[in-house]
Amino acid sequence: MKLASLKSGRDGRLVVVSHDLTRYCAADNIAPTLQAALDDWENCAPRLEALYTDVEHQAVPCERFHEREAASPLPRAYQWADGSAYINHVELVRKARGAEVPESFYSDPLMYQGGSDAFLAPREPIPLADENWGCDFEGEICVITDDVPQGVSSADAAGHIKLVMICNDVSLRKLIPGELAKGFGFLQSKPPTAFSPVAVTPDELGEAWADARLHLPLHIDYNGEPFGRTHAGEDATFSLADLVAHAAKTRPLGAGTIIGSGTVSNKDEDGSPGRPVADGGRGYSCIAEIRMIETIRDGEAKTRFMRKGDTVKIEVPGEDGKSVFGSIEQEVA
């Protein structure tokens, strides 16, 4: 099934959305908010699934679904932790500054605890107080869990993944080196994230969800031009289940925890870091990567970070070419 939260108050109003994202039916008689549904998922999920079947069969009255009316599926959450499943991204960052990738990064994922008190809606402008902060987008796959016990195995973690989304993990690149040097992780360098209009259950994804990885392309357009045409199912060193298990190593995770894949990033067919879309490559899911390629290739980065008025669109086309999660479309304001 597909779920969304229409903008309403701090936590939105839960609705069930049709597979083709054209219709919705209010679900707030089952649970007022998605968080409330996740808090009692075992009870709510079957009822939401039944409603979804009715929506698909047009057996209940539906309203027209407009992605622009959706908040992030969880407009705020109790936890958002973001990993680095695509080591190509990490390799690129390090290569650009002449550093090696420690061997441990291939078995022990990088993950940071993100701010989750207020997310941007999928069509909400990115507020940027200072263009010198180096505003960047990051296209990622993420999942929402139910209650996950401490010490869960990766195999068992897969069963705790209840919903899948995509996100734009907005980053302030120029603030990152200072914060990384302090060792305490990202705080000021990670302003609010935006998630896709719709969250989708793994079963709804069919064969595109396998090994707790999303086997679909991630399309990113920057200022209206194709910028990223990566494939989320390839080059993912860690699955989303691996990342959930990493987060739960020393503590349980509360229902509604969001875990992210990190920036989706593919190697080129010849094993080299990917080429830009304009050069026939798959491109990138963030500006930082093309800047790294430029730095490695030309000695300096020429693509600048986002300024006011720049736009980014992030979307996953299904095998039928139709948008699976709806699109994140944001302008820097």
Binders of a copy of itself among 46-65, rule CB under 8 A? none
Tokens of 214: 């999303």
- With binding defined as CB under 8 A, does residue 268 bind a copy of itself? no
- With binding defined as CB under 8 A, does residue 107 bind a copy of itself? no
Stretch that binds a copy of itself, among 175-183, 224-232, 285-293, 309-317 (CB under 8 A): 175-183
Contact, 255 vs 79, CB < 8 A? no
- With binding defined as CB under 8 A, does residue 159 bind a copy of itself? no
Binders of a copy of itself among 215-254, rule CB under 8 A? 246-247, 249-254
Kindly state the number of chain residues that form the binding site for a copy of itself, as judged by CB under 8 A. Answer: 47
- With binding defined as CB under 8 A, does residue 114 bind a copy of itself? yes
Cβ-proximal residues to 93 (8 Å cutoff; 6+ apart), any chain: 288, 292
Cβ-proximal residues to 46 (8 Å cutoff; 6+ apart), any chain: none
Binders of a copy of itself among 25-44, rule CB under 8 A? 39
- With binding defined as CB under 8 A, does residue 195 bind a copy of itself? no
Helix (H) or strand (E) holding 36: helix 34-39
Phi and psi dihedrals of 332, rounded to 5? -75, 130
Contact, 310 vs 331, CB < 8 A? yes
Cβ-proximal residues to 216 (8 Å cutoff; 6+ apart), any chain: 205, 208, 231, 232, 233, 316, 317, 318, 319, 324
- With binding defined as CB under 8 A, does residue 278 bind a copy of itself? no
User: Residues 128-157: x/- map of binding to a copy of itself (CB under 8 A)?
Assistant: -x---x----------------xx------
Site residues (vs a copy of itself, CB under 8 A): 10, 39, 76-79, 81, 108, 110-118, 127, 129, 133, 150-151, 172, 175, 178, 180-189, 191-192, 246-247, 249-254, 256-257
